[in-house]
Amino acid sequence: MFFVRTAGEQDLEKVRALLGETWHATYDRLYGADKVNELHASWHSPASLKARLARKNSEFLVADDGKAIGGMGYAAMSTEMTKTVMLYMLYVSPRHQRQGIGRDIFAELETCFPDAEIMRLEVDPQNEPAIAFYKAHGFVEVSRTENCGNAQSGIPALVFEKRLVGDSIQL
Ligand SMILES: CC(C)(COP(=O)(O)OP(=O)(O)OC[C@H]1O[C@@H](n2cnc3c(N)ncnc32)[C@H](O)[C@@H]1OP(=O)(O)O)[C@@H](O)C(=O)NCCC(=O)NCCS
């Protein structure tokens, strides 16, 4: 049974391993294994993960069953867009997918940012399972980018958003 909790520095090695495994399972068919190795080494380096953990106005979560980390999620308030939280990472290890772990991590992340009105993310147009997951959780496509992750990546992505407020009845 996995439960979702805040990550600590002691989790980062396992998180990094989970990201490596999940990235190869997800993206090798899209970018090739060499490119995935390159991106994983750069985006998920111990220093990069540590910096994310330390970032203000962010949440770094893991799904833990006492033995293994089955998934992770990371979101942070945007520094460019007001009242917008960016969902930067949501990864569940291949053997634990489709068991509700992604849903549980997302449900927690959704409630962690009371000042945010919008949650925004980027997803590869060919990553159909993730697109299905996000649509099932109320996201809609708002635009596209040619540079997912950073300005030079050259990786195309769909930009999805979800309104986090506004469903309540105005009295
Ligand atoms: C996308 C991901 C985070 C979803 O997490 P998960 O734990 O596997 O998904 P859940 O079991 O919580 O699924 C919740 C709902 O999302 C939808 N969904 C999830 N995976 C799906 C799939 N492969 N195909 C269609 N719908 C899917 C379904 O509606 C599902 O509900 P259901 O199982 O009752 O039908 C996970 O599969 C993953 O890590 N994938 C690889 C990495 C990745 O692409 N991450 C996102 C990068 S932008």
CB-side exposure of 112: number of CA atoms within 13 Å? 24
On whether residue 39 sits in a domain, the answer given is: yes
Asked if residue 94 has its Cβ within 6 Å of ligand 1, the reply is: no
Q: Please state whether the predicted TM-score (pTM) of the whole model is above 0.85.
A: yes
On whether residue 87 sits in a domain, the answer given is: yes
Can you tell me the distance from the alpha carbon of 116 to that of 84, in angstroms, rounded to the nearest whole number? 5
On whether residue 170 sits in a domain, the answer given is: no
So what's the pLDDT on residue 139?
98
Asked if residue 127 has its Cβ within 6 Å of ligand 1, the reply is: yes
What does the pLDDT profile of the chain (171 residues) look like in tens digits?
999 999 999 999 999 999 999 999 999 999 999 999 999 999 999 999 999 999 999 999 999 999 999 999 999 999 999 999 999 999 999 999 999 999 999 999 999 999 999 999 999 999 999 999 999 999 999 999 988 887 788 888 999 999 997 555 545
CATH for 9: 3.40.630.30
- Mutational pocket test of ligand 1: of 90, 98, 103, the residue with most ligand atoms within 8 Å of the beta carbon: 98
On whether residue 108 sits in a domain, the answer given is: yes
Residue nearest to atom 18 of ligand 1 (CA): 133
On whether residue 20 sits in a domain, the answer given is: yes
Conformation bin of residue 19: beta by default, left when phi > 0, alpha when psi is -120 to 50: alpha
On whether residue 70 sits in a domain, the answer given is: yes
**Domain range spanning residue 20?**
3-163
* Residue 62 contacts residue 69 (beta carbons within 8 Å): yes
Number of folded domains that form the chain: 1
Phi, psi of 112 (to 5 degrees): -85, -10
On whether residue 155 sits in a domain, the answer given is: yes
Residue nearest to atom 7 of ligand 1 (CA): 102
On whether residue 171 sits in a domain, the answer given is: no
* Closest-lying ligand 1 atom to the alpha carbon of residue 103: 12
* Residue 38 contacts residue 31 (beta carbons within 8 Å): no
The DSSP output letter for 155 is: -
Q: How far is CA 32 from the centre of its chain?
A: 21
Report the amino acid identity of residue 11: D
Instruction: State the Cα torsion 29-35-38-40 to the nearest 10°.
Output: -20
Pick from 115, 159, 165: nearest CA to 134:
159
